[in-house]
């Protein structure tokens, strides 16, 4: 699956791959819904997606930057 514009923006705003950022929060015991809220807050409201979107992003690692 291709990287979405929102994933690209999230990567830029977070300064790291989104899937890694999400996986760290899952490892800390955060729920998908709380991670969605964390993402919204970490990007100053620029990334507003559903918890299902965040879950899908975590399942599909981003390709390495070229």
Compute how many other C-beta atoms are within 10 angstroms of the C-beta atom of residue 33.
Answer: 13
Residue 9 lies in a domain: no
From CA 52, how far away is CA 13, in angstroms rounded?
20
Taking only the tens of pLDDT, the chain with its 66 residues reads 678 999 999 999 999 999 999 999 999 999 999 999 999 999 999 999 999 999 999 986 555 555
From CA 43, how far away is CA 27, in angstroms rounded?
21
Residue 6 lies in a domain: no
Residue 52 lies in a domain: yes
Residue 10 lies in a domain: no
CA distances from 60 to 7, 8, 16, 43 (A): 11, 14, 15, 20
Residue 65 lies in a domain: no
Task: Write down the pTM of the prediction.
Answer: 0.85
Residue 51 lies in a domain: yes
CA torsion 21-25-26-32 (nearest 10°) is -90
The parent domain of residue 54 ranges over: 15-59
Residue 27 lies in a domain: yes
* Total domains in the fold of the chain: 1
């Amino acid at each position: 699956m291709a990287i979405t514009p929102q994933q690209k923006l999230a990567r830029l705003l977070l300064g790291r791959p989104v899937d890694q950022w999400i996986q760290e929060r899952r490892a800390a015991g955060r729920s998908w819904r709380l991670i969605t809220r964390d993402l919204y807050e970490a990007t100053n409201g620029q990334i507003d997606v559903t918890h299902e979107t965040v879950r899908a992003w975590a399942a599909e690692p981003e390709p390495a930057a070229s």
